[in-house]
Chains A and B, each alone.
Chain A
Amino acid sequence: MDLERAFTGIIAITRHSFKKLVFSRKAVITLLIAVFVAVVMGYAGAQDVDPLPDGTDMLDTLILFFFMPVMAMIYGASLIRDEIDDKSITHVATAPLDRAFSYVGYYIPLASAVAVSMFVVTTAGFLAFFAQNDLGGEALEVYLEFTVLVTVGAFVYSALFLAVGVLFKKPMFFGLFYAFIWEGFIGSLPGAIQKFSVKYYLRSVGSGWVDYGRMSTFEEASDPLGSGLVLLGLLIVFVVLGAYLFRETELT
Chain B
Amino acid sequence: MGPNGAGKSTLFKLALGLIRPSTGTISVLGQKPWGNPGLHSSIGFCPDYESLPSESTGREYLSLVGGLHAMKGATLSARIVEVSHLVEMNRALDRKIGGYSKGMKQRMKIAGALLHDPDMLILDEPLSGTDPLVRREIIDLIKRLNKENGHDVVVSSHVLFEIERMTHDVVLIYKGRAVATGDISEIRDLIDKHPHNIIIEGENIGVLAKALLDEGSTVSVSYNDGRKGITVQVSRPDDFFNRLPDLIVQSGTSVTKMYSLDENLEAIFRYLVGR
Q: Give A contacts to B, CB under 8 Å.
A: 1-2, 4-5, 8-9, 11-13, 15-16, 20, 23, 86-88, 90-99, 247, 250-252
Contact = CB atoms under 8 A, between A and B. Distances in A.
B64 A16 contact: yes
Contacts of B52: 88
Contacts of B68: 9, 12-13, 91-92, 95-97
Contacts of B35: 247
A94 B37 CA distance: 7
Contact of B13 (A1, A95, A98, A252): A252
Contact of A250 (B19, B39, B71): B19
A247 B39 CA distance: 15
Given A12-B64, A20-B53, A250-B19, A91 B37 contact: no
B193 interface: no
18 contacts: A4-B70, A8-B70, A11-B67, A12-B66, A13-B68, A20-B55, A88-B50, A90-B18, A91-B51, A93-B18, A94-B16, A95-B68, A95-B69, A96-B40, A96-B70, A250-B18, A250-B20, A251-B13
Interface of B: 13, 16, 18-20, 35, 37-41, 43, 45, 47, 49-53, 55-56, 60-61, 63-72, 112
B45 A95 contact: no
Given A94-B40, A96-B37, A99-B37, A88 B70 contact: no
Given A16-B56, A251-B13, 19 more contacts: A4-B70, A5-B70, A9-B67, A20-B53, A20-B55, A23-B55, A86-B50, A88-B50, A88-B51, A88-B53, A90-B51, A91-B51, A91-B64, A92-B68, A93-B16, A95-B65, A96-B68, A247-B35, A251-B19
B67 A12 contact: yes
Contacts of A5: 70
Contacts of A2: 70
A127 to B, nearest CB: 32
B53 A16 contact: yes
Nearest to B10: A252
Nearest to B71: A8
B15 to A, nearest CB: 10
B53 A96 contact: no
B131 to A, nearest CB: 23
A4 to B, nearest CB: 7
Contacts of A92: 68
A8 B60 CA distance: 15
A104 to B, nearest CB: 13
Contacts of B51: 87-88, 90-91
B37 A8 contact: no
- Among B16, B50, B64, max chain A CB count under 10 A is at B64
Contacts of B50: 86-88
Given A12-B64, A88-B51, A247-B35, A94 B45 contact: yes
A89 to B, nearest CB: 8
A15 B52 CA distance: 16
Contact of A9 (B39, B60, B63, B70): B70
Contacts of B53: 16, 20, 88
A91 B112 contact: yes
B64 A94 contact: no
A96 B47 contact: no
Among B37, B60, B64, the most chain A Cβ lie within 10 Å of the Cβ of B37
Contacts of B13: 251-252
Contacts of B72: 8
